[in-house]
Structure 1
Amino acid sequence: MGDTTQEPHVELPGPAEFHDPLIRNEVKRASVWFGTALLIAGVIFLAQPLLLIIGGLVFAVLLDGGTRLLGRWLPIARGWRLLMVVLAAFGFLGWLFYFAGTTFAAQFEALRAVVEAQAGRVYSWAFDHGLVSEGSPDTLGQQVLGSVGRLTSAVGTALGAVTSAFLIIVIGIFIAVEPRLYDRGVAWLLPMRHRHRFYQIGDRVGFTLRRLLFGRIVGMVVEGLFTFIMLAYVGRLFGVDPIPMAALLGLLTGVLAFIPNIGAITSGVLMVAVGFSAGTSEGLWAIVVYFAVQNIDGYLILPYIARKTVDLAPAVVLAAQLIFGALFGFLGLLFADTILAALKVTLQEFAGQRAGGDDGSESAPLPEPASGASSA
């Protein structure tokens, strides 16, 4: 037999071993850029599921805010308060869809016909004054009301996307039921020295979004009811006949008020188009009502919300809506301002902690996260 003695195996450096500090630093930099590119690509290709998750978080904020509000008057367990809020929300949505389905089904088709007819009138006026030389009323309608048409079609698609709405609702309920579980799950991915800061930022973002969305709901209710009352009843005091489809216009104004800027423009275009379809005085009254609604929203509701939350410049919000809408479609447009508010609060918290000398390096004791932290 041969000699079975084996010499000790010596491990030699492979091609992945970098001992030169310069090469190590360059590899780290390249890894950061490569990871950033992968992150951007992932956001683009996974935009739809990410926005569904964001929608679930926004819905969780609404549920959490209602649960906290009930807690001021009902000293019962959080689970029971959350159940009351969920049942109230589903009851209202069920009534709304039933009422809209039985009352407004025919009016939606009439509204579309009115908007198309008004677009044809605008085209004729523009052609007579030499503003357009060729095309058709449909072409002009797409040019003048292009964004409105895309938005209304997107709204119709969103209302028909039962699966997406169901996923948003389910995600929101799961997060609202046990928000601390998801807080800890995300914090577990971070180093120990950064978890205290994560909880602080999460609490602040959750607080801001709760106030922002509460003010948004108040604005939707006020604008919808005010529009309906002004179009249906108040106009009679000035000799103006009730505007057709006043209830439908009030409902659309209230729903579209959830989308700042673009929602107001869309509801205004629809309101004025329906008003002029009934007559010149009705059209002028619709313009008056539109500006009255926007002044109430701009000078009463929005300043109050800004004092309680984060002040976002309207131009910045509009730019974010255009960018998110172009990149991610209707859901991006719908959640653009909430995403922007969360980013601004996060950056403000980072800036405040840096200015205060808190770099997060100390191992601070981990606080128990607030129940709304993960709702951010």
Structure 2
Amino acid sequence: MNNLTKADIVRSTLIVLLLVGIAMLLVQVTATLMLIAGAILVAAVIRAFSDPLQHRGVPETLSVLLALIIIIALLSGFGYLFGHSLSTQFDNLGSRLTDAYNMARQWLASQPFGRAILSSTPDIQSYVGQALTVAFGAIGVITNLVLVIVGGIYLALDPGLYARGTSKLFPKKHSGRVLDALRESGAVLRRYLAAQLITMTAVGSLVYIGMLIVDIPSAGALGLISALTNFIPLIGPFIGAVPGILIAFADDPHKIIWAALVYLVAQQIEGNVLTPIVQRHAVAIPPAVLIFALSAMGTLFGTIGIVLAAPITVVIYTLVADLWSRETLGHEVDTLENAGIDDDSETASE
């Protein structure tokens, strides 16, 4: 009995050391992990376009290629219609933001409370520059994008291959359950991205229309910034509102209230009207979970971690609910049902 207890202690110690070693290794390859996460995100977007084609009888490989053509055509069409206008607006926005940022700092410095705020606030321009350097300086932004896109295409062409390979890292008796959980997480991620695209488009359009109404310069660029930053939950809308507030302040300080009202109305419509509708077809992550996920991902992986925190949390949340809460603890949870997804159809499509 004593020998068995010692063996258990040795086994447990080795497991702990192994986990610590894996954690230390993951810290050293954070950039690669973010590239993998980005590739999975690209693959999920491609599969969101290709799966409806597969349901209509198109072979898997051909459906992925057609999805790529559709995505490229949509992006090219958007660039053709709005590229020149947006490029001009972004050029103007860049110069205006620099002037507006300096004006805002000067105004704060002239206020009794402003000096304390400025002394405790980092220089945004240098902070953004450092963040971009950390995110892309090691390999280069072009190389990173190429790796993510090419990796995403390979993942989209045969996701079952990589899912089956991952399932083989677990005991054989559990590999089937792991494989099902991976399929479910992929389905939920695609639904989540579709829901995010709807809300991002809506918020960007509302901000664009609102800025035109209140006569704020570069309304199109500000709308696009709001749409893109809205991908980051909770803090994204605040980040996206900063350029518009600064531009309004530089154009006319009295317009700050109108600009803030535009962002407030857009977010209220998104939060109280659109989100409840689209979340019927996508998993809803509790806000507290997202807050801590953003904090953890930001600490571990920096700016890119914050950007990818939500989709990564969606996948982890689904896997934990399926493999731990349902399979291990025996609770009745069904992430696919909550997301409005047919389990049988998704499994068959894989």
**TM category, shorter:** 0.7 to 0.9
Residues 31-42 of structure 1 correspond to what in structure 2 (within 5 A)?
Answer: 31-42=14-25
Gaps of 5+ in 2: 333-343
TM-score by length of 2: 0.83
Decide whether the 8 Å contact of 1:209 with 1:341 is kept in 2.
Answer: yes
Residue in structure 2 matching 1:120, options 96, 99, 102:
102
Aligned equivalents of 2:48, 2:268: Cα separation in 1? 27
1:273 matches 2:246: yes
Aligned equivalents of 2:278, 2:315: Cα separation in 1? 15
Residue in structure 1 matching 2:227, options 225, 237, 254:
254
- Residue 202 of structure 1 corresponds to 182
Helix, strand or coil: the match of 1:244? Answer: coil
Aligned equivalents of 1:127, 1:357: Cα separation in 2? 57
- Residue 370 of structure 1 corresponds to 347
Residues 332-351 of structure 1 correspond to what in structure 2 (within 5 A)?
Answer: 332-349=305-322, 350-351=324-325
Aligned equivalents of 1:84, 1:152: Cα separation in 2? 39
| Alignment CA distance shift 1:371-1:153 (3 Å) | farther
Aligned equivalents of 1:247, 1:357: Cα separation in 2? 48
Aligned equivalents of 1:107, 1:75: Cα separation in 2? 44
Decide whether the 8 Å contact of 2:191 with 2:282 is kept in 1.
Answer: yes
- Residue 8 of structure 1 corresponds to none
Decide whether the 8 Å contact of 1:60 with 1:173 is kept in 2.
Answer: yes
Decide whether the 8 Å contact of 1:119 with 1:141 is kept in 2.
Answer: no
TM-score by length of 1: 0.78
Say which is worse superposed, 29-38 or 341-350, in terms of deviation. 341-350
1:50 matches 2:33: yes
- Residue 337 of structure 2 corresponds to none
Residues 128-147 of structure 1 correspond to what in structure 2 (within 5 A)?
Answer: 128-133=110-115, 140=118, 143=121, 146=124
Residues 1-376 of structure 1 correspond to what in structure 2 (within 5 A)?
Answer: 20-71=3-54, 74-94=56-76, 102-105=84-87, 107-133=89-115, 140=118, 143=121, 146=124, 150=128, 154=132, 161-232=141-212, 235=213, 240=214, 242-349=215-322, 350-356=324-330, 370=347
Whose radius of gyration is greater, 1 or 2?
Answer: 1
Aligned equivalents of 1:133, 1:34: Cα separation in 2? 50
| Alignment CA distance shift 1:90-1:283 (3 Å) | same
Gaps of 5+ in 1: 1-18, 359-366
| Alignment CA distance shift 1:298-1:369 (3 Å) | closer
Aligned equivalents of 2:115, 2:331: Cα separation in 1? 65
Matching residue's letter, 1:120: N
Aligned length: 335
Aligned equivalents of 2:74, 2:199: Cα separation in 1? 17
| Alignment CA distance shift 1:133-1:245 (3 Å) | closer
- Residue 5 of structure 1 corresponds to none
Decide whether the 8 Å contact of 1:256 with 1:267 is kept in 2.
Answer: yes
Decide whether the 8 Å contact of 2:47 with 2:64 is kept in 1.
Answer: yes
Aligned equivalents of 1:220, 1:210: Cα separation in 2? 15
Say which is worse superposed, 248-257 or 307-316, in terms of deviation. 307-316
Indicate the RMSD between aligned Cα atoms, in angstroms.
Answer: 3.3
Displacement of 1:158: 5.7
| Alignment CA distance shift 1:70-1:250 (3 Å) | farther
Displacement of 1:341: 1.7
| Alignment CA distance shift 1:140-1:34 (3 Å) | same
